[in-house]
Structure formats: C-alpha cells, structure tokens
C-alpha cells in the first residue's frame, strides 16, 4: 500500500460511509479480531460499519468486544446480502480470494462497492481497488494496526481495538512463537497492552475455556496419531463417528494438528477431519522451517494458506484421503529431510 493509496483511503473515509467488513469462512481468532478491530476504528470515525461473517464460529471467540454486532451470512442471508448490495465500501480481511467466503462469494463478486483488501495469505486475487497484501505479516490483526497507524490514527486505538488486535496476533502466531513473530510484532503487542488489552484475560478466554468433551476428543485424536519417520511427517485423523462420540462443537478441533507437529524430528503434520454433512474431509497442514504446506495443499488438496500453515479439503473418503497423503509423501522426501 503506497502513500497515494493511503491518502486516497483517508479521503474516502473522511465522510461517513456505509461499510461492510468480511473475513473468511470458518473465522478464526485473526479473522474475528481483525474485522472487529477495524469495526471499532471505523465506528469512531462515524461510519455505518457492519461485520458480516460467512458462517458461525467457535464459542471461545464470542467474548470479543463488538461480538454482539456481528451478523452471520448463513443465518440471515437476505438481510446480509442487502447490506452488501447497499455498501459504499467493503473491507475484505484475512483472505485472498472470494471463494474463501463460501456462500458469500457471488454477492461479493457482484457488488459495485469499492473493495479494500487487508490480508497476509499467498497469491491474492486481484479484485480490490486498494490492496494491502503482505505475506511476511504475522496476522491480519498486525496489518490492521499498521493500517490505522498509516492513516495517522494510532492514538485512536482504545481498549476495544487493542483487545481485538491482540487476539488475532496471539492466535495467528501460536502465542508469539511461530517464526512470523518479529520484534515489530512484540512492539505492537506491548503498545496494545498499554492501550488496555488485558493479555492474561485474552489468553484465558481463548485457551483455558475447554469443555470436558473437547479434552476427551483431544485424547481420541492423540490416540489416532501416526508417524511416518522416513518423511519426518505425522498425521491425525478424526472420523465423524468419533466427533459425534465426544459431542463435537465448532472449534473443538482447533490447534490439535499442532500436537502432531510438536513431535521431535517431525517437520510436516496433518489432520484429517471427516465432515459427513458437507461430504468432505477437512485438512489442516502445518510445517516447520522451509517446507511449504501452501504448495502441497494447492497441488493436492484444493486449498492453500501460508508456508507453515495451510488448509484444504478432499472429496475422497477419510481412508482414501489418508492413503493419498501417504502416497504423495515420497515425492517430498528430499525437501522434508532438508527442511
């Protein structure tokens, strides 16, 4: 985003606008934090702002300031479509292509509103008038901080905005440990704490509110963990029957793949989660070092993401999907053994 873009956006936002803010489907901490952080900022500038998420999200994200003002497209499709059709400006946050918004794809693609993208995923589509895309960024929340700062409004960041932005930086950096975490990330985090983000409470709200069933499901997932030493890979599977047994709720499988990646010597981890309702296997891939799970997912699993964290899907059965994963590993052995 160059100086001209910033000055154009400043001009654009200098009078009240109807603004819709959208994250990707199955919103995570960064998606919720960045959209609500931007929402609070725009409200301060007297815009008529509305966050619309494609579908529902986990309860460990439902405490965030502004949560009650979020509208869910899947639940209120026609009202949400109307807001999108009437919008002057649409901010698209934490995704790189309209298809990442699921059922919102068409209404977004057909809207005449001016689009602003803020995102840190690889290979962004070219739909936005103003595009702030940077794959080196830890999180979209970190980018929203920079965006507000570039607009000269760092001093407007209050406790609500700080809380939202802290949330997404925390979740997308694995609590500040992934290698996308820079000294700048830490400086921003320090500023957000000074501006009122209660770091300890935010960690507690996200990570220490497990249900008993969720921990039992984790136990089941760890029992299903398999290692493929020659590829330095490990994977976990969860069938629909297993999810049902532990009364699976949205968000219960979040982060489980990281246990596979935490094994000493493992550089590639996968989790395969059966979704009978959608008729797909949802795949999460994680890696350490240089090995790109973004490339692997794009090539084999209809997805993408970042170098060290990507998602994808398969329309094969759970077993066939795992067989496919195992069968493609030898072609990556050289990279995996040098990662």
With respect to ligand 5GP, which residue has the nearer C-beta, 239 or 284?
Answer: 284
By the rule CB under 5 A, 335 interacts with Mn ion:
no
In angstroms, rounded to a whole number, what is the distance separating the alpha carbons of residues 139 and 25? 16
Q: Which does 310 bind (CB under 5 to 8 A by kind): ligand 5GP, Mn ion, none?
A: ligand 5GP
Interacting positions 16-75 with ligand 5GP (CB under 6 A): 24
| Interacting residues with ligand 5GP between 78 and 97 (CB under 6 A) | 96
Helix residue spans in 173-252 (DSSP H):
183-194, 199-207, 212-223, 240-245
Binding flags for Mn ion, 108-147, as an x/- string (CB under 5 A): --------------------------------x-------
* Residue sitting closest to Mn ion (CB): 30
Number of residues engaging ligand 5GP in binding (CB under 6 A)? 13
Q: Which is nearer to ligand 5GP, 66 or 303 (CB)?
A: 303
Instruction: Report helix, strand or coil for 49.
Output: strand
Question: Is residue 309 a contact partner of residue 286, using CB atoms and an 8 Å limit?
Answer: yes
Q: How far apart are CA 151 and CA 45, in angstroms?
A: 12
CA count, 13 A, side-chain hemisphere, 166 = 27
Interface positions, 106-135, toward ligand 5GP (CB under 6 A): 121
Which range in 211-219, 229-237, 309-317, 319-327 contacts ligand 5GP by CB under 6 A?
309-317
Helices (H) and strands (E) in the chain, counts: 14, 12
Residues contacting 219, CB < 8 A, separation 6+: none
Interatomic CA distance for residues 118 and 263, integer angstroms: 34
Cα(177)–Cα(255) distance, integer angstroms:
14
Among 40, 47, 94, 336, binds Mn ion (CB under 5 A): 94
Report residue 46 as tokens: 């007297």
Q: Does 251 bind ligand 5GP (CB under 6 A)?
A: no
Nearest to 113 by CA among 73, 83, 85: 85
H/E segment holding residue 5: helix 3-12
> Which alpha helices (H) appear in 24-76, and where do they start and end?
29-44
Stretch that binds ligand 5GP, among 54-62, 187-195, 204-212, 303-311 (CB under 6 A): 303-311
User: Taking CB under 5 A as the rule, which mask of x and - marks residues 68-87 in contact with Mn ion?
Assistant: --------------------
CA 170 – CA 199 distance, rounded (Å): 9
282 in Cβ contact with 302 (< 8 Å)? no
By CB under 5 A, what part of segment 178-217 binds Mn ion?
none
Alpha-carbon distance 128 to 115, whole Å? 5
Nearest approach, Cβ of residue 25 and ligand 5GP (Å): 9
The residue from 22, 24, 30, 163 that contacts Mn ion (CB under 5 A) is 30
Select from 142, 172, 252, 254 the one that contacts Mn ion (CB under 5 A): 172
Q: Which among 124-132, 177-185, 235-243, 307-315 is the span making contact with ligand 5GP, rule CB under 6 A?
A: 307-315
Between residues 1 and 32, which has the closer beta carbon with respect to Mn ion? Answer: 32
| DSSP-assigned beta bridge partners for residue 52 | 71
What are 90's two structure tokens?
A: 């649409």
Counting contacts by CB under 5 A, is residue 254 touching Mn ion? no
171 is in the binding site of which of ligand 5GP, Mn ion, none (Cβ under 5 to 8 A by kind)?
none
Contact footprint for Mn ion (CB under 5 A): 30, 94, 140, 172
Contact footprint for ligand 5GP (CB under 6 A): 24, 96, 100, 121, 284, 303-306, 309-312
């Amino acid at each position: 985003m160059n100086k001209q873009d910033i000055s154009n956006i400043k001009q654009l936002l200098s009078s009240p606008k109807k603004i819709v803010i959208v994250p990707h489907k199955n919103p995570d901490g960064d998606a919720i934090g960045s959209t609500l952080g931007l929402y609070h900022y725009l409200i301060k500038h007297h815009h008529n702002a509305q966050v619309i998420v494609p579908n529902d999200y986990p309860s460990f994200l439902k405490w965030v300031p502004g949560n009650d003002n979020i509208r869910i497209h899947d639940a209120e499709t026609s009202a949400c479509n109307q807001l999108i059709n009437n919008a002057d400006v649409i901010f698209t946050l934490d995704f790189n292509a309209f298809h990442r918004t699921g059922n919102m794809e068409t209404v977004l693609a057909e809207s005449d509103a001016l689009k602003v993208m803020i995102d840190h995923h690889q290979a962004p589509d070219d739909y936005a008038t103003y595009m702030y895309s940077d794959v080196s960024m830890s999180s979209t929340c970190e980018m929203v901080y920079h965006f507000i700062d570039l607009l000269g409004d760092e001093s407007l960041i209050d406790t609500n905005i700080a809380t939202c932005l802290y949330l997404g930086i925390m979740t997308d950096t694995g609590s500040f440990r992934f290698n996308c975490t820079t000294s700048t990330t830490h400086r921003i985090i320090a500023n957000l704490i000074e501006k009122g983000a209660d770091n300890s409470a935010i960690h507690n709200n996200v990570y220490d509110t497990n249900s008993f069933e969720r921990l039992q499901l984790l136990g089941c997932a760890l029992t299903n963990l398999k290692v493929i030493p020659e590829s330095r890979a490990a994977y976990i599977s969860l069938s629909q029957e297993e999810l049902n047994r532990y009364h699976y709720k949205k968000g219960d499988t979040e982060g489980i793949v990281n246990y596979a990646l935490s094994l000493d010597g493992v550089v590639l981890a996968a989790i395969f989660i059966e979704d009978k309702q959608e008729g797909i296997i949802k795949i999460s891939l994680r890696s350490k070092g240089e090995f790109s799970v973004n490339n692997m997912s794009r090539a084999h699993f209809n997805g993408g993401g970042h170098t060290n964290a990507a998602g994808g899907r398969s329309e094969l059965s759970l077993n066939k999907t795992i067989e496919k994963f195992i069968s493609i590993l030898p072609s990556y052995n050289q990279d995996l053994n040098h990662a």
